[in-house]
Amino acid sequence: MSWIHPGPRSIAGTLCVLALWSICCEKNDSSVVDSTGSAPQLSSASVAPSTVNTDTINVNGLRSPDDILTLSVLVSARVSHADGPSHISSVSFNLGDQQELTQYAAGTLHDNGLDGDSSAGDGIYSSLVQFQIIRSAVGSLRLDISADDPLGYESNHIVLPLTLERLNHPPVLSNLVAPDTVQLANQDQTLRLTVMASDTDGLSDILKVSFNSYKPDNSLTGGSPFLMYDDGQSGGDSKAGDGIYTLTVALPSTTTPGAYRFEFEAVDRSSAVSNVLVHTITIVP
């Protein structure tokens, strides 16, 4: 037996047959739908305020790190579609942490002139967004905004930071006015003490000004700490709201003579403590 090797022409014919078989047997995928469209476009977005100082928010007159705060921000986005606004089916947002592990708020923005949107039909979608957070949480949250059309085309995303910070400043005491010596002379005496308190966050941020009094043996005197006043009437205070805190103390004639130490401090609504002013008053018979 001998082998007959096909020539070039028969090889070409074989390839042609294979090619034709491949074309004839190719699957016709009728599930493919030929659709055309385009996605909405976000040209700009904003959140206001973009920074929140949580130490400006009081809860029952105080500011504790464990407070649960309800914050409100205005979220807006300018959205358009090549085929007109009727082809924008939704504009949505998601507010979470930077790692996208915790979601604080999610929803939709509207162009209806309601719920924070200033003007209907102007292409700016807005909403007032409320969410809760613990006061001690500081840093940047992640606000993700996007839009969809009725065919499911998704727009570009705009991601904005929302910064939470605590910028409280402690109060400062100064200008302490108190005598160095008080002589009893076998009769009751009064002792008027004043101190200036200031706070860069405003005088309304000062929760209290007080002092502790220590006897010559370094033990606390009864009644410590003593509150001081800036209301124009209590404790001998002469003018309300001027930042000068006053207390007039009665010293009985039976007060034990010796050196008494007075320590003054102020506390603000975030529980931040001021510098401490120390003054010694010597009581003599």
Looking at 131, 165, 199, the residue that finishes a domain is 165
Residue type, 253: S
Whether the CB-CB separation of 163 and 50 falls below 8 Å is answered with yes
- The stretch 195-202 carries a mean pLDDT of 94
Q: At residue 62, does pLDDT exceed 90?
A: no
Distance CA 118, CA 128 (A): 11
Mean of the per-residue pLDDT values of the chain: 87
Rank 6-10, 142-146, 201-205, 268-272 by mean pLDDT and report only the highest: 142-146
Range scoring the smallest mean pLDDT among 2-11, 112-121, 229-238, 248-257: 2-11
Q: Transcribe the chain into DSSP letters.
A: -------HHHHHHHHHHHHHHHHHH----TT---------EEEEEEEESSEEEGGG--BTTB--TT-EEEEEEEEEEEEE-TT-GGG--EEEEEEE-TTS--EEEEEEEB-SS-TT--STTSSEEEEEEEEEEETT--EEEEEEEEEE-TT--B---EEEEEEEE------EEEEEE--SEEE-TTS-EEEEEEEEEE-TT-GGGEEEEEEEEE-TTSPBPTTPSEE-B-BSSGGG--SBTSSEEEEEEEE-TTPPPEEEEEEEEEEETT--B---EEEEEEEE-
- Report pLDDT for 171: 96
pTM exceeding 0.75: no
Q: Which of 121, 144, 165 is the last residue of a domain?
A: 165
Taking the C-alpha atoms of residue 93 and residue 77, their distance in angstroms, rounded to an integer, is 10
- Mark whether 47 and 88 lie in a shared domain: yes
The amino acid that residue 70 corresponds to is T
Cα 48–Cα 50–Cα 52 angle in degrees, nearest 5? 105
Least confident of 31-35, 86-90, 94-98, 191-195: 31-35
Q: Residue 24 domain-assigned?
A: no
208 with 274, same domain: the answer is yes
- Asked if residue 179 has pLDDT above 70, the reply is yes
- Its domain, for residue 51, covers 41-165
pLDDT of residue 49: 97
Whether 151 and 213 share a structural domain: no
In this predicted model, which residue has the larger pLDDT, 232 or 34?
232
Asked if residue 72 is part of any domain, the answer here is yes
When pLDDT is averaged across residues 235-262 and rounded to a whole number, the result is 95
With respect to residue 20, please indicate whether it lies within any of the assigned structural domains: no
Which CATH number do you get for residue 242?
2.60.40.2550
Is 50 exceeded by the pLDDT of residue 65? yes
Quick one: average pLDDT of 162-172?
93
Query: Could you tell me if 208 and 130 lie in one domain?
Result: no
Q: Are residues 242 and 142 in the same domain?
A: no
Average pLDDT over residues 239-244: 96
Q: What is the pLDDT of residue 36?
A: 56
Domain assignment present for residue 153? The answer is yes
Q: Name the domain count of the chain.
A: 2
* Beta strands at 158-165 and 51-53: parallel, antiparallel or unpaired: parallel
For 203-229, write each residue's pLDDT tens digit: 988 999 999 999 999 999 999 999 999
Of all residues in the chain, the percent with pLDDT exceeding 90 is: 74
In a domain, 1, yes or no: no
Confidence of residue 24 (pLDDT cuts 50, 70, 90): very low
